[in-house]
Structure 1
Amino acid sequence: MSWLHHPLSRRGLLTTATGLAVAAAAPGAYAASPAGTGLPAAAQGPAGTLAAFTNPVLWQDFADIDIIRVGDTYYYSASSMHYSPGAPILRSYDLVNWEFAGHSLPSLDFGSKYDLNGGRAYVRGVWASSLAYRRSNSTFYWLGQIDFARTYLYTARSVEGPWTRHAELPQVYYDAGLLVDDDDTLYVAYGNGAISVAQLSADGRSQVRNQQVFSTPSNIGTLEGSRFYKINGRYYIFLTRPANGQYILQSTSGPFGPYTLRQVLLDLRGPVAGGGVPHQGGLVQTQNGAWFYMAFVDAYPGGRIPVLAPVSWTGDGWPQIQLSGGAWGTSYDSTLPARPVAPMTGVDTFDGATLKPKWEWNHNPDNSKWSAGGGLTLRTATVTGDLYWARNTLTHRIQGPTSTATIELDFAGMRDGDRAGLALLRDSSAWIGVRRDGGTTRLVRTDGLTMDSNWNTTGTGREVASAAISGTRVWLRAQADIRPGAPRPGTFSYSTNGTTFTGLGPAFTMGNNWQFFMGYRYAIFNYATQALGGSVRVARFELSTP
């Protein structure tokens, strides 16, 4: 989805529903396809396998969803913009419980601005992209657009990596959806308004054919966010009308059409109080034949979070979302038994030489200035008075609806002019941390870190509270309430023993504008305002929920 075409101001363009493709049903109800049609049908699994789930299935910021199944495992790819590594991949065995698996882009090696060197890449980088698996060579394919100007293909034999970047493709594929056809041919559906299909070469690294297959009617506004499927001989392009609708194109004549359009949903009430309409997601079929649609809901300040609903099919081959009370259900029955995965919350002591895939840096890091193993050591990598310019700021998505992040910080290695701590990071930010000046170390709370609509810094922060501190160790804590429509407070506290915490400064109100797209994150930072050479060590990070 492009900010150039974000439609929160576009809700009134379509005033009548056409080709409605939603079905009212009780939670857990599934429609069977008519006998003899050969069309896909959602079906319950064997007796005893049903398990209820509640939306959102994961309250973290994972937008522009592409979801696939390989064997008994599901993979979920999402946008990450200026965060590095890029394009996170989640893994699940039941569509409900998810864990981090890896990233398709090991680094954002697309120019110096991604290194915070002479420029910045906020709200650039990895937008809507596509993940596919090719059984003929047992390889995962990621295809995506960078800076709205370049398209790249990455491949790996395992989602954990290593991932290999191939040469830039000659065509820019906006909001691409990648399809591996039954005969192993690779196709890409893409575009904004004008939707096209391209056939790729056998290795996926060049283009064989390109054809526009659909032009969005003016009364709809715009369609984008392509997801490309072949289901029972028919081709489907799943498209979003940001940020309140979902449509689908169907062709019975091949990947280049002609296509017929049908509305899947428009202004559908979502399952997250205060959140938006579920949209821009993907279809996936379970091992036992059931179909589901995973979409995201705009839920700022936390970002765009995934919700799940079962899907049935009409006799003429159109998907229907199973509704509950005329809305996307807050809960449904699953067709798969729940299977545990690594939790999204808990403690990280940074005991390995590499970071776990739940971590992403704000822009590419300077890898010579950090190390892990027995804790995380951050050496100052930038001389600046602006956190938004500081390299090696390490971020973690916030767990909703409310959660707490706590770090144990050893600041013995700080030098005069250094700033280190824990932030709530977005285009309006605040932090708690340690600053050292003139040989004296103080604990401070800072507000007023802001950027404008072009992501230039407009405020580098103001101190709103402080406290004396002794020794070389402190525990810093940030608590975030990211429920949309709520007061959205972020509060900060500290401890000198790891047990008793004292609040510092007033509550910070997190912004809930959509233009930055990514939600707030917890962020660990250490930067210099005078000279490099200082360091801090984070012995422990804990993310907890009430």
Structure 2
Amino acid sequence: MKKYVLGVAILTASLFAKSASAQATNPMIYADVPDMAMIRVGDTYYMSSTTMHMSPGLPIMSSKDLVNWKLVSYAHDILIDNDEMNLLDGKSTYGRGSWASSLRYHNGTYYVSTFAATSGRTHIYTTKNIEKGPWKETSFSPALHDHSLFFDDDGKIYMIYGNKELKLVELKGDLSGIKTDGINQTIIKDSTKPSQAVGNSGLGEGSQLFKLKGKYYLFNITWPNGGMRTVVIHRAEKLTGPWEGRVGLADLGVAQGGLIDKPDGSWYAYLFRDFGAVGRIPYLVPVKWEDGWPVLGTNGKVPETLTLPASNGLVPGIVASDEFTRKQGDSSLPLVWQWNHNPDNTSWSLLDRPGYMRITTKRIDTSFLMARNSLTQRTIGPVSTGVTALDLSHMKDGDFAGLGLLQKNYGLVGVRVDGNRKVVVMINASTGKAVEAQNIIIKQNVVYFKAQCDFTDKKDTADFFYSLDGKTWMPIGTQLKMSYTLPHFMGYRFALFNYATKTAGGYADFNYFRISDRLN
């Protein structure tokens, strides 16, 4: 009998442990997916996010459960064709490009809008098929900061935008600009006011507007002096006001986002948190409704676990390995890849040498940060490893190719060709200044590189390795202390790169890129 009871107890404990482990945990995505906007269409959720200067841009992700997401589309290949986006004439647009987006579904059409200091315009993209496209662009000036696109019940189209002082404008029916004789007014003079219990408050941006049961709800982010990133919610009977506001959430700095409902009638807030070098990472917070107000969190706190399905991991939905093998005639890249700024599409190929990504130099560049055609994808937390194999047989004198971790304070390991010498080099720019930490002469034409990232509890360190056979790994250089810098305004990214410092025309062949959520 005792054995039976003990067996039942063990089985019950095991089932309980499995049940507990089957819950979703925060963060929802441990990777740089900031400025989310979200909708539900039937039983499918869609989310847009910010990738700024990357190409293609304005990523769209889908999910069936709010937890497991996969990239399904980009709204644009090229935001704008200018020197800054093309990394020409010493110019770049790090930290700019397209910013916070608004995502809507209205009368069978999907809309995603963004704005860009790089173009000085507001961009609106539309499609009937959000996963397959095609997307059509309409744009107008000026660039409406952190706007929320809104289709009201009366058929009129609006945007709320601004920082602290929030304005409402009515758009033309074809979305080509602001309607000259439409509503154009300030609706909230100081959107930070509800959070000013201790001194003044900053920000007051990130507008996201919702309408439920005849009332309008407006979400914004604020940052009280001596406090943290905070959610402020305003409510009104009419878009033109008056608006009343209150603090929606002040915990862990989790803020900026909005509301999403499930088919079963439950509600969540999707928000993000600044989390060091990995970037700005999404959280989900349960929502209850009390007296016509959304109440965020569990007793005002962000819960660690959620009554949602467990995550299956970010590989391959958000990041993925790539062997660079393609079917005949297929020259496309998986959606996990984005170029650092606009690429020169004549300078890379998956077909010139089947099974390899070839990056050819077409110009002289001065540094890793200004090199065109660096191919990137996100790092992920709490830890991640990226590995690649490089054939350098056709690199020229002065060429430099390898594997980097892209941010202003970057780190990389690669091969530099110096005359007849091939030198494995590790560069550490932790301080903002690039330092050649170590170099090793090699004799062969194939070399392997590895970068390991540890974002656990904001440890934010990375180590680099090289191998001559792909099996025995040797550390090289010094540990990179990663830091999230505003000039770049995004989490660290793995990057395959090749650039020339003396003569254009050489090329580097990358055999694969493999990513894992372990330090291996």
**Which category of TM-score, normalised to the shorter sequence, fits these structures?**
0.7 to 0.9
Counterpart residue identity of residue 452, structure 2: Q
Relative to structure 1, is the Cα distance of residues 202 and 428 closer, same or farther in structure 2, using a 3 angstrom cutoff?
A: same
Counterpart residue identity of residue 427, structure 1: K
Select which of 227, 240, 243 maps to 2:221: 240
1:9 match: none
Q: Larger relative CO (CA 8 A, sep 6+): 1 or 2? A: 1
1:398 match: 379
Whole-Å separation in 2 of the counterparts to 1:292 and 1:115? 39
The answer on whether the counterparts of 1:379 and 1:526 sit within 8 Å (CA) in structure 2 is yes
Choose 209-218 or 114-123, whichever is displaced more: 209-218
Deviation beyond 6 Å, 4+ runs, structure 1: 336-341
2:422 match: 441
2:395 match: 414
Are 2:439 and 1:466 equivalent residues in the alignment? yes
Select which of 75, 82, 92 maps to 1:120: 92
Are 2:128 and 1:152 equivalent residues in the alignment? no
Are 2:65 and 1:91 equivalent residues in the alignment? no
The answer on whether the counterparts of 1:345 and 1:542 sit within 8 Å (CA) in structure 2 is no
Structure with the larger helix share:
2
Select which of 256, 264, 269 maps to 1:293: 269
Counterpart residue identity of residue 345, structure 2: N
Select which of 153, 163, 178 maps to 1:192: 163
The answer on whether the counterparts of 2:430 and 2:482 sit within 8 Å (CA) in structure 1 is no
Are 2:278 and 1:278 equivalent residues in the alignment? no
The answer on whether the counterparts of 2:23 and 2:310 sit within 8 Å (CA) in structure 1 is no
Across the two proteins, how many residue pairs are aligned to each other? 474
Counterpart residue identity of residue 348, structure 1: D
The answer on whether the counterparts of 1:188 and 1:228 sit within 8 Å (CA) in structure 2 is no
Are 2:241 and 1:257 equivalent residues in the alignment? yes
Matches within 5 A, 1:1-20: none
Percent identity for Structure 1 against Structure 2: 36
What secondary structure is seen at the aligned counterpart in 2 of 1:384?
coil
Q: Give the C-alpha shift of residue 212 in structure 1.
A: 1.4
Matches within 5 A, 1:36-435: 52-118=23-89, 119-134=91-106, 136=107, 138-147=108-117, 149-160=120-131, 161-166=133-138, 168-208=139-179, 209=182, 210-216=184-190, 217=193, 219-242=200-223, 244-252=229-237, 254-266=238-250, 268=251, 270=252, 277-315=253-291, 317-323=292-298, 327-334=301-308, 342-350=316-324, 351=326, 352-373=330-351, 374-435=355-416
The answer on whether the counterparts of 2:349 and 2:358 sit within 8 Å (CA) in structure 1 is yes
The answer on whether the counterparts of 2:361 and 2:499 sit within 8 Å (CA) in structure 1 is yes
Q: Give the C-alpha shift of residue 114 in structure 1.
A: 0.7
Unaligned runs of 5+ in 2: 1-18
1:20 match: none
Q: For residues 311-338 of structure 1, give each alpha carbon's deviation from its aligned partner in whole angstroms, at most 9, with x where no partner exists.
A: 11112x11011326x521111112x798
Whole-Å separation in 2 of the counterparts to 1:469 and 1:159? 49
What secondary structure is seen at the aligned counterpart in 2 of 1:203?
coil
CA RMSD in angstroms, aligned pairs only: 2.2
Whole-Å separation in 1 of the counterparts to 2:362 and 2:258? 40
TM-score, L = length of structure 2: 0.86
The answer on whether the counterparts of 1:94 and 1:337 sit within 8 Å (CA) in structure 2 is no
Unaligned runs of 5+ in 1: 1-47, 271-276, 452-458
Q: For residues 466-525 of structure 1, give each alpha carbon's deviation from its aligned partner in whole angstroms, at most 9, with x where no partner exists.
A: 223233222210001123542x22101112222221111221111244553211111110
Whole-Å separation in 1 of the counterparts to 2:202 and 2:310? 41
Q: For residues 62-90 of structure 1, give each alpha carbon's deviation from its aligned partner in whole angstroms, at most 9, with x where no partner exists.
A: 11111111121111111112111121111
Q: Give the C-alpha shift of residue 372 in structure 1.
A: 2.1
Counterpart residue identity of residue 229, structure 2: N
Whole-Å separation in 1 of the counterparts to 2:210 and 2:320? 37
What secondary structure is seen at the aligned counterpart in 2 of 1:312?
strand
What secondary structure is seen at the aligned counterpart in 2 of 1:175?
coil
Q: For residues 235-289 of structure 1, give each alpha carbon's deviation from its aligned partner in whole angstroms, at most 9, with x where no partner exists.
A: 111111146111111111x2222211121023x1x3xxxxxx1001121111221
Q: For residues 431-478 of structure 1, give each alpha carbon's deviation from its aligned partner in whole angstroms, at most 9, with x where no partner exists.
A: 101111112212111123875xxxxxxx4x332212232332222100
The answer on whether the counterparts of 1:224 and 1:241 sit within 8 Å (CA) in structure 2 is yes
The answer on whether the counterparts of 1:250 and 1:260 sit within 8 Å (CA) in structure 2 is yes
Counterpart residue identity of residue 318, structure 2: M
Q: Give the C-alpha shift of residue 61 in structure 1.
A: 0.3
Relative to structure 1, is the Cα distance of residues 521 and 449 closer, same or farther in structure 2, using a 3 angstrom cutoff?
A: same
Counterpart residue identity of residue 322, structure 1: G
Counterpart residue identity of residue 68, structure 1: I
Matches within 5 A, 1:24-39: none
Q: Give the C-alpha shift of residue 98 in structure 1.
A: 0.9
Whole-Å separation in 1 of the counterparts to 2:508 and 2:40? 42
Q: Give the C-alpha shift of residue 100 in structure 1.
A: 1.0
Counterpart residue identity of residue 290, structure 1: S
The answer on whether the counterparts of 1:278 and 1:296 sit within 8 Å (CA) in structure 2 is yes
Relative to structure 1, is the Cα distance of residues 329 and 146 closer, same or farther in structure 2, using a 3 angstrom cutoff?
A: same
Q: Give the C-alpha shift of residue 188 in structure 1.
A: 1.2
